[in-house]
Amino acid sequence: MPKKDRGSAVRLSRLFASALLAGVGLALSYAALPASVQHPVALATPAAGAPTGIIAHPAAIASGHPLATRAGQEILAAGGNAFDAAVAVSAALAVVEPCCSGLSGGGFYLLHRDADHLDTVIDAREKAPGGATRDMYLDSAGKPIPHASTGGPLAAGIPGEPAAFEYLARKFGKLSLKQSLQPAIRLARDGFPLDERIHGVIGFKRDVLLRSPDAAHVWLTPSGAVPDAGTIIKQQQLAATLEALANDGARGFYTGHVAQDLVAGVRAGGGIWTLADLAAYKVVERKPIIGSYRGARIVSASPPASGGVVLMDELNILSGFDLQKANPALRKHLVIEAMRRAYRDRAIYLGDPDFVQIPVAMLTSADYAAGQRGSIRPDKAMPSEMLPGVEEPSSGPHTTHFSILDAAGNRVAATISLNLYLGSGFMVPKTGVMLNNTMDDFSIKQATQNAFGLVGGTANAIAPNKRSLSSMTPTFVETPHGVMIVGTPGGSYIINMVLLGTLNYLDGMSAADIVRYPRYHHQYLPDEVDYEKGALSADEIRTLEGEGHQLRESSRQWGNMQVITWDFASGRVEAASDPRGAGEGLVY
């Protein structure tokens, strides 16, 4: 072996020896672990939240649209806290960013309340209607009906966002729901200028919008053309629906005349919602997934969001490697192999915890990760089909994320969605509400990929009133020195984008660099590494291909990451919005 190569082989074997020796260390709850099984890297149990006696810091918001960031700022300035601002930002996004979330949508709000160090998840995921059946998107021969789970009212789950607004305001906020909804109501009633990004989305989905007269009325010109960027878009019906919510709380949306209009419109369009489905919708407060990696405390969303479990699974696998000492190609190889294994677990085990037993403790345990790590070779990709337990494919593409930090240290990381761009593209008459198509995030049939090409198992099959599995990963990364609040849209790519963001934050990268970082991704099946232009150097491409990885340069960019970082010692706060989107991060 030439001298040069021997050196790298020694480095490799050290890296792998440390992987094998380090088999244990990370678990569901770091604090609950006996010291004897803690990984040597995780020297101290990181404190929840900031240490006491820290210097004052500003508030910050990063969201996918400048007008939504401003709506949140207005509510903070009026005396609201991060949770009131979360209501204002979400509601404003429903008005100005129709591609990506809305009143009919849902998502996950990860909260940190600083006064008592509470970390909690508000699960506002859409639910399958009561009349949903496992095979509802298959024809009589058992074949998936094209577009049935993505287009039109049959593709829509029962909305979660309005219930989350009331819950956030009532349980966590300082202001009334009515006050926090005012910026959104104004934007809907008085209008806002159409920006280039949404202009592009409308053009892309014009044909779908033309099939829904109410959607076409708002988003297209009378002749059916896409309005010019800068055109003022007013949404009077949506303003009225928001007013009903502001005046009567969740009841104003889930019961009464809004509910009646929603059900009538959905059913007339071929959907199966009932008044009882709407009246029964409740958000669920769930314990977050908590683990640790390289001394940082990781707090993320729990099932039916798959993000937290898969992220911890990936980090636990990686915890046995010293990634900082690995050369760039090896580092990427190891990260890809961790992605492959954790996404396999997603496909097999994860679904709605109210319906299926999920072995969360196992999937996030250090021992389990050690087993996964043991099958990684440093010099060779492992074909996904060689990993046992391939069962079936699952879930599916646009969404939005925002991050908030207030001056009291309260935090929100929220990822909310209608699923694909403009959801199902159907606006329910009289309500201004654009329907989600989140039913496509279920496994509609074994071995059938959803819009994101994800594979899933029986755990994520359709059942009445069940929540579909999500890739959303709103996350806090806490170190003894600071905190990162992070999340992004991007369908199946979400979890891996948050993984790369976490690794980069722990390597000292700034918020601006974290959101701009070029991304790569492996999701178990299809067995290939997708990467953005610039994510892999020519050398890395050569090495990874030599190891057997199938590489595919993506023709598009992914994600719209919103990051806030806060350094405890200096009080410095950074807010950065992904340059791939058109959002804004502001520090006040």
- Interface residues for ligand DON in 449-488 (CB under 6 A)? 470-472
Is 159 an interacting residue with respect to ligand DON (CB under 6 A)? Answer: no
Q: How far is the CB of 583 from ligand DON (least distance, A)?
A: 14
Catalytic residue among 69, 120, 364, 399: 399
List 441, 478, 532, 547, residue binding ligand DON (CB under 6 A)? 441
Q: Residue 395 CB, nearest distance to ligand DON (Å)? A: 6
**Residue 104 interacts with ligand DON (CB under 6 A): yes or no:** no
Phi, psi angles (nearest 5°) of residue 252: -65, -15
Query: Which is nearer to ligand DON, 398 or 521 (by Cβ)?
Result: 398
397 binds ligand DON (CB under 6 A): yes
Pick between residue 396 and residue 585 the one whose CB is nearest to ligand DON: 396
Selected binder of ligand DON within 102, 265, 474, 491 (CB under 6 A)? 491
State the Cα–Cα distance between residues 331 and 322, nearest whole angstrom.
9
Binding of ligand DON at residue 423 (CB under 6 A)? no
Q: Is residue 424 a contact residue for ligand DON (CB under 6 A)?
A: no
DSSP 36-87: GGS-TT--S-PPSSPPTTPPP---EEEESSHHHHHHHHHHHHTT--HHHHHH
| By the rule CB under 6 A, 489 interacts with ligand DON | yes
Q: Locate the DSSP E strands across 60-181.
A: 60-63, 106-113, 118-124
- What the block records as the tokens of 258 is 């809004």
Contact call for residues 512 and 333 (beta carbons, < 8 A): no
Output the smallest distance, CB 508 to ligand DON, in A: 28
Least distance (Å) from ligand DON to the CB of residue 453? Answer: 12
Per-residue interface string for the shown chain with ligand DON, residues 492-531, x marking contact by CB under 6 A: --x-------------------------------------
Q: Is 577 in the site for ligand DON (CB under 6 A)?
A: no
Clarify whether 399 is annotated catalytic.
Answer: yes
Task: Give yes or no for a contact between 460 and 394, defined as CB atoms under 8 angstroms apart.
Answer: yes
Task: Work out the end-to-end distance of the chain between its first and last CA atoms, rounded to an integer number of angstroms.
Answer: 58
399 in contact with ligand DON (CB under 6 A): yes
Binding mask 300-339 for ligand DON (x = CB under 6 A): ----------------------------------------
Q: How many residues bind ligand DON (CB under 6 A)?
A: 16
Q: Which stretch binds ligand DON (CB under 6 A): 29-37, 287-295, 394-402, 578-586?
A: 394-402
Name 288's bridge partners: none
Contact call for residues 426 and 215 (beta carbons, < 8 A): yes
Cα 120 from Cα 110, distance rounded (Å)? 6
3-state SS string over 536-573? Answer: CCHHHHHHHHHCCCCEEECCCCCCCCEEEEEECCCCCE
CB of 315 to ligand DON, least distance (A): 19
Q: Applying CB under 6 A, which of residues 410, 419, 496, 577 lies at the interface with ligand DON?
A: 419
> Should residue 417 be labelled a site residue for ligand DON when binding is judged by CB under 6 A?
yes
Instruction: Specify the DSSP element, H or E, that contains 577.
Output: strand 573-577
Residue 294 binding ligand DON, by CB under 6 A: no
Half-sphere exposure of 175 (CA within 13 A, CB side): 24
Question: d(Cα 271, Cα 38) in Å, to the nearest integer?
Answer: 51
Q: Residue 486: beta bridge partners?
A: 475
SS3 track for 471-510: CCCCEEEECCCEEEEECCCCHHHHHHHHHHHHHHHHCCCC
**What residue ranges bind ligand DON (CB under 6 A)?**
395-399, 417, 419, 438, 441, 470-472, 489-491, 494
Active-site residue set = 399
